[in-house]
Chains A and B, each alone.
Chain A
Amino acid sequence: MAVTDTDATERVEPEPVATEDPTLSPVVDHGGMHMHTPVPEVMHHNHRAPAPATIDHAERGPRGVKLAKISKTGDRVFRTMAITSGLVIVLLVLFVGIFLLALALPSLQADQDNFLTSRNWTVVGNELRFGIVGLLWTTVLTSLLAMAIAVPVSVGVALCLTQYLHKRASGPVSFVVDLLAAVPSIIFGLWGLIVLGPFLAPAAEWLISKLGWIPLFSRNVDPKGSVFVASVVLAIMMLPIVTAISRDVFAQTPRDQIEAALALGATRWEVIRTAVLPYGRSGVISASMLGLGRVLGETIAVMIILTTPPAGSPFTPSIFAGGETFASKIANNASEFDSPSKTGAFIAAGLVLFLVTFAVNAMARVIADRGGAKS
């Protein structure tokens, strides 16, 4: 592994560097610190030189000065500890994938329905019939709807904080929005079901009466614990994440571009449209994806709010119906993990959720890296 490789370079490399020119190494090191691009191979040997350089001094110090000999043991122990912790982190993530897959496979093989296309979830007894389409639909629908609500609001808030408000006012407002992220999701769930659900009922009723002919808005038996309410709560949970990242990106808009737009006589909105938004676009997209990754896996709030439809009920695309997401399905049945085949089915659902969130997060990072602005 790469770990042993660096070990070897550490032991062999520093000696000649230090004897040739001890002052060189800190300077190179300094440059390395401020570079955010990967340091080229040659540089990173030098980069580690300072510590051994002092040891070199100790061995042949200037005349008349007595320098103590420094033991290398402490350094070795500490380095090993740091590398071990890095290894633990890497293994931890690999294990998550490996163990979930290992436990899901037997159940997947025993599955008599197509795992990817079935809406059934029968895992009692010997006959396993389960598929993820229903779960995937509700998960994606709630998350996308949440994103559709949260992103325009977040961008507006971030613009207000960076372009409209005075610094003295934007501080406290940012603080309040950040605190929203601190509220535990179970409290959002409870509040969503008991307070927000009834409050949104008239709005839901209005939407159904006006747009009910579209399947997405069709009337359903139980509009109280609906996808609609869950999405609004998820949007609230997503809001601080997207706002914080968008705010940071907008705040970095080059001053000269804003001033150039102003000099051409642009109004404040035109400055935003021509300078701020184009600059922050990739940051906002990446922030939205990160927020999406977060709400895809949200468990308890969704579980509390969404009404679980009775088994075997027909599929409805409506946002005013209940449903189950991956996370809420697993959590709802957590007390029934008794046989390995049954547990395996839920673990398979967890594995799919893991892969979906991984893909969304990876996409967010790629977009952020490609875009100019760093969050």
Chain B
Amino acid sequence: MSATTNDAQLTLRRPGGVRTVKNALATVYVTVVTVLAIVPLAWVLYTVITKGIRLILSSDWWLQSQRGITPRREGGGAYHAIVGTVEMALICAAIAVPLGILGAILLIEYAKGTKVARGVSFMVDVLSGIPSIVAALFIYALFITIFGFGRSAIAVSCALVLLMLPVVLRSTEEMLKLVPQELREASYALGVPKWKTIVRVVIPTAFSGITTGVMLGVARVMGETAPLLILVSYAVGINFSPTSDTMGALPTMINSGRDQAPQLPGYERVWAAALTLIIIVMLLNLLARLIARASKLKEK
């Protein structure tokens, strides 16, 4: 070390040459690597924006479908795909959000510290590790092979539930943990039953955090492609029915058009669809983070 004792006198000197060099090298490495980590996001955004911005600035993009439009023709929009993506995400959220919030309530309010909580928590861990393709295969096995239904947008939503559920549950759980115990006790002291305490005191206190989790979950499932490939066919026309076997979606719109030659108008639409998807997902993410920042409950 730098300080050496010489009899009773202490001499302090600067770190030796090798150590200074090592320290400088570490600083350089850390800086370079951090800059490197920011590059991909900027690069992806730059690519997608420059290639897709022209189309999404026209109102047709947001109001028309791709019906009757071949890759060689200009025109058409992504309305059908936006409708499909939003609809499937909403159906998924309608199932996953209540299930996730109730599951978190079970873990924190009813079964905290018990074997039940540990068991359920373990299963949520398993669920959060399931690849999207496996979730899709499971729904395929259950709905199509065993129950004999056809492919449908609902099946996609069900597969997405498996992916969204752990996100909603874990973020709700974290928020419920942060709700001060005193609030619950104050409510009990007033004679409010436990369920009403949860619904009227605990959930409202944690509401912004739960909203953040839900929005991040929705953003995640909107960009999922694997379940769409397996469980529904891509439709170029507008279709609102979740039970029909074809439905447009932004990821499949990108996937179905990606093999075209770069000079065709259809190729530009692929990038415009990618930009649309990124805009929707990023907006959800930014909004979720803003809500989280404004939240009253803060993590320690």
Binding site for B on A (CB under 8 A): 2-3, 6, 26, 29-30, 32-33, 35, 38-39, 43-44, 47-48, 50-51, 53-55, 57-58, 67-68, 70-72, 74-75, 77-79, 81-86, 88-90, 92-93, 95-96, 99-100, 102-103, 152-154, 156-157, 159-161, 164, 173, 175-177, 179-180, 182-188, 190-191, 194-195, 236, 239, 243, 264-270, 272, 293, 296-300, 304, 326-327, 330-331, 334-335, 337, 340, 343, 346-347, 350, 353-354, 357-358, 360-361, 365
- In order of increasing CB-CB distance, the 5 nearest A-B pairs are A297-B131, A184-B223, A156-B33, A78-B195, A39-B113
Q: Mark B5-19, 1 if CB is under 8 A from A, else 0.
A: 000000010010001
Are B125 and A365 in contact, with the CB atoms below 8 A? yes
Are B138 and A190 in contact, with the CB atoms below 8 A? no
Are B19 and A267 in contact, with the CB atoms below 8 A? yes
Residues A264 and B133 in contact in the complex (CB < 8 Å), given A6-B116, A51-B193, A236-B40: no
Separation in Å of the A175 CB from the closest CB of chain B? 8
Are B191 and A54 in contact, with the CB atoms below 8 A? yes
Residues of chain B contacted by A346 (CB below 8 angstroms): 137
Residues of chain B contacted by A38 (CB below 8 angstroms): 113-114, 118
Question: Which residue of chain A is the closest to B36 with respect to CB atoms?
Answer: A153
- 24 cross-chain CB contacts under 8 A: A29-B185, A32-B112, A39-B112, A72-B193, A75-B193, A86-B107, A86-B116, A89-B99, A96-B135, A100-B138, A156-B33, A175-B289, A186-B251, A191-B43, A195-B47, A265-B1, A267-B23, A268-B26, A297-B133, A304-B258, A331-B226, A335-B229, A347-B137, A357-B129
Within 8 A of A (CB), among B103-144: 103, 105-107, 109-116, 118-120, 123-127, 129-135, 137-138, 140-142, 144
Residues A184 and B15 in contact in the complex (CB < 8 Å), given A92-B162, A265-B3, A346-B137: no
Distance in angstroms between the alpha carbons of A293 and B157 in the assembled complex: 23
Distance in angstroms between the alpha carbons of A74 and B192 in the assembled complex: 11
Consensus secondary structure, chain A interface? helix
Are B129 and A75 in contact, with the CB atoms below 8 A? no
Distance in angstroms between the alpha carbons of A64 and B82 in the assembled complex: 64
Distance in angstroms between the alpha carbons of A231 and B195 in the assembled complex: 49
Are B106 and A82 in contact, with the CB atoms below 8 A? yes
Residues of chain A contacted by B294 (CB below 8 angstroms): none
Separation in Å of the B92 CB from the closest CB of chain A? 14
Beyond A86-B103, A177-B41, A331-B225: 4 further Cβ-contacts under 8 Å?
Answer: A83-B106, A187-B274, A265-B2, A299-B229
Residues A89 and B47 in contact in the complex (CB < 8 Å), given A79-B110, A164-B27: no
Residues A160 and B137 in contact in the complex (CB < 8 Å), given A176-B38, A187-B278: no
Residues of chain B contacted by A48 (CB below 8 angstroms): 110
Question: Which residue of chain B is the closest to A54 with respect to CB atoms?
Answer: B191
Are B274 and A190 in contact, with the CB atoms below 8 A? yes
Are B184 and A85 in contact, with the CB atoms below 8 A? no
Separation in Å of the A96 CB from the closest CB of chain B? 5
Are B111 and A327 in contact, with the CB atoms below 8 A? no
Residues of chain A contacted by B188 (CB below 8 angstroms): 26, 50-51, 53-54
B145 at the interface (CB under 8 A from A): yes
Residues of chain B contacted by A58 (CB below 8 angstroms): 191
Are A327 and B112 in contact, with the CB atoms below 8 A? no
Residues of chain B contacted by A357 (CB below 8 angstroms): 129-131, 134
Are A267 and B48 in contact, with the CB atoms below 8 A? no
Distance in angstroms between the alpha carbons of A185 and B107 in the assembled complex: 32
Residues of chain A contacted by B225 (CB below 8 angstroms): 184-186, 299-300, 331
Are B146 and A99 in contact, with the CB atoms below 8 A? yes
Residues of chain A contacted by B271 (CB below 8 angstroms): 190
Are B194 and A51 in contact, with the CB atoms below 8 A? yes
Are B1 and A68 in contact, with the CB atoms below 8 A? no
Are A92 and B127 in contact, with the CB atoms below 8 A? yes
